[in-house]
Structure formats: structure tokens, C-alpha cells
Structure 1
Amino acid sequence: MTEKLVYLVDDEEAIRRSAGFMLRTSGFKVESFASGVEFLKDVRDLPLGCVLLDIRMPGMDGLEVQQALIERGVAMPVVIMTGHGDVNIAVRAMKAGAIDFIEKPFEKAVLMAALDQAQARLDRSGQRRTNAEEAATRLKILTPREREVLDGLVEGLPNKTIAFDLGISPRTVEIHRANLMAKLEVRSLSEALRLAFAAADVDTPAD
């Protein structure tokens, strides 16, 4: 279970104070930022958490901050806070991947429901990341040649094509294939491929 951590990004001190109090009394750990620029400056060094992001801020607005997070590969779920009349902007944020948007002034139950959704996504992506790292670790026991054979299998190539590409005989490919499956302790090609696909997620930002 990922720690319930919320990054509250809003230029209004009153919102940071009231929403921060509401969250802390509901079991969340809260870090507040007075601007998107300030948040982005620190985001690389922050542990994973949910982002409660205001739409209308000077300097960079919420959509620009959200886009910057996407471009940097920061996989933190975002909940947008919006004032009355900004729903069309909030919908754009949802299309860009935001979990939900809540209108100010918001009720505690609405805020909690949105953050529960964000937390659930964080937990799922955290589990996927753990699985990916475990798979990548398992693949490290393969020799470079065994890894090349596995990469060919991942691409859906038959043994003969892999053999031709690597300049070895089909029989040698079969031997490498049997060896890599034994090392990975898998009983079928599909299990080996699942491991390879999972390991690829280490280099891919989580949902």
C-alpha cells in the first residue's frame, strides 16, 4: 500500500490552509506549494503521491503544470481543482489524463472520493512497477545471447529467422531458448514473454 501522500498546489493561501487541514485530519500527509513552478522545481526529488492541482494560477496554470508532468514522465495521478465556470478547462485536463476534477468550494466527501480514486491508481501503478522491477532482475541472469534470442521471441520471430539474424544455427537457437526458460524457471514460452513484457515496463512511465 502506497503512503497516502498529497501534493497540494494552489496559489491561494486560504485554500492551502483549509484543504491541507481537511486532508491531514483524514489521514493524508500533505505538502503544499504556492505555485506550479515551485512544485515542478522539486517534483523530481519527491516520493510518489497524488497531486491536487488548481487550474487558475499565475505563472503556470494547472493545465501547463499537468503537461509538464507528462513531458517529464512523472507518473503521479492528478486531481484538478476548479472554480465555478471552469468546467470546460477541467474536461480538457481529464482528456490529458487527470483522474477527476472538483469544483470549489468542495465538500469533504467529494474531495475524499476523488483522492481515493487517485490513490487506487497509484497503488496499482506501484504494484506494476514492483512486478516490472522483479521481472527485470530475473532477466539479468540471462547471457547476452540468450537475451537476444528472447528479444527475437518477443518480436514474434520464428527460430529460423532469429538464427539467421544472429548468424547461428536454428538448433543453437533452440538450445538458448531451452536454457533461458530453465534459468527463468518458466514452463512455457508465454510465461517467458510475460516476464519480458513486464520488464519492459521499468523503462515506461506508469499509468
Structure 2
Amino acid sequence: MNSDPDKLADKQLVHRALSGDAQAFGIIISNTEKLVAQIVCRMVSNVEDRKDLAQEIYLKAYKNLRVFKHESKLSTWIAQIGYNTCMDHLRKKKLLFPGELMDSPGAGTADALLFRKELAGILQAGMEKLQPVYRTMITLYHQEELSYEEIGEITGMPTGTVKSYLFRARKALKEQLTGYYGEKEAQ
């Protein structure tokens, strides 16, 4: 018997949702909406498309709940649906390309808060210029704190490919930021 409390809770929620308990599926949505939103927002820039995709992801999850095998966490399975749905959207729209942060000054001071806010804005601007797959890799690893293996489950990529894409994503982000500041200093 599996003793993982997350998987046991997932099994109970899935069973209740399959039995017609709408509240249980609402809990599933509530438990996964932040992760799904992170994936959708990093991969798709159009706000209207994001809303449609989020609905489509949960509709697919609901329709396919019977085939969920409990081999991974439910959130990972739904994130995989989200990732694949966004990739399909990007392919249809022909938007798909082939293919360490500095420490902040002393925490708690007004200068530190301003610095972190400014740094977050700079990073966000750099992230927006990355390919959707790279944005997603950075988000899943650094913000959602998922392991290479979990990202691999979500994206369907081997762990080595995840590591490679994450390396390329960091390098591309560094180049974006270096290029931006190189241009600023030259002006």
C-alpha cells in the first residue's frame, strides 16, 4: 500500500469527483490553479487565450479523470495537461520556436525592498523575451521548486533534456539581461 499522504488525498478527491461530487473537483482546481496559472502565464502572452486555455485544461482534466493512474501526484498530472495544452496552442498559433541571481542587500530595509522590486521587474522583463519553453522551465524549477524529474513528468521530456533546457534558459536570460544593460551603459 502506498503511504504517500498526497497520493492518498489525491485518490480520495478523484474518487469523490468521479462519483459526482462537484465540490471535490473544485478542491482539485483550488489545489492546482496556482501551478496551472504559472504554466499558462509563462507560455502564453495573450490574456484572453490564457483564460480560454485554463478552462480547456480543467475541462480536459475532468474528462480524463478516469484514466488518471495515481502514478504521480494529481497536480503533476494536471500540470502535464496544462503544459501539453499550451504547447498545442503555441503550435497552432505558430508561436513555438524550435528548438545565479545576485544576492540582495540587507533584508528588511527600504533600500532592500526597492532593490528586490526593481530586480523582480528586470527579471520579469527578461523572462518575457525568452521562448515559452524556456520561461516555463525557469518558472517550474525556480519558482514552483519542482525537481528535474517532476518537470520531466509534466513536459514529457527526459531528465537530461530538462536539465539541458534549463541550462539554455538560464543562459538566454543572462544574455537578455547582459544585452539590455550593455545597451543602457552605452547610451
Q: Could you tell me the TM-score, scaled by structure 1's length? A: 0.28
Bigger relative CO (Cα 8 Å, ≥ 6 apart):
2
Please state which structure has a larger fraction of its residues in strand.
1
- Of structures 1 and 2, the larger Rg is shown by 1
Q: Could you tell me the TM-score, scaled by structure 2's length? A: 0.31
